[in-house]
Amino acid sequence: IGSLLNLHSTKTILLTSNELPSQATATPGPKNLIIQAEYTVQQYYMDWNEKDFVASYALLDPTYQQHYSYDVLLPDYQQTHRSCVSIDNSIMMPNNIVKVFITDNAIEDDLAHPGQTVIHVYQGYFLVQQYPTGPKLSPYLIIQPGEPGNCHT
């Protein structure tokens, strides 16, 4: 997480389906792979915000899905009312994998106070890997306890 302190090029994302850029083609090259990886992360959160949990789950890496079934993740999807996500940085890794660093300010059910919501801040990254069916995501996110979040519905 220490490397997250030196991030640059923050892009705030709160999009609707009409505002998404057209999907990048899968042509080789680091720049196109980074654009496509960032688009895929944006799409994941847009689907989640639109309550299309099946579409969000479908963007997850098959290995991740083997460890976390849809039924296991569904309560987490459902308790989140909205995610305000910023892409903090993206870098190329070996084997055409892109590491996309994000900050997620999520409006979620406050489990300690039923009927109320709280904004939790998650930081970390997604590894985005190319598959024949398209790019897939592996999330590595950690909640930042005590850090005030900012997200509006």
Q: What is the mean pLDDT of the chain?
A: 84
Spatial distance between the Cα atoms of 84 and 139, rounded to a whole number of angstroms? 16
> pLDDT band for position 18 (50/70/90)?
very low
At residue 8, does pLDDT exceed 80? no
d(CA 54, CA 31): 29
pLDDT of residue 122: 96
pTM of the model: 0.80
Instruction: Write down the pLDDT at residue 26.
Output: 45
**pLDDT, position 3:** 28
Q: Check residues 18 and 8 and name the one with the higher pLDDT.
A: 18
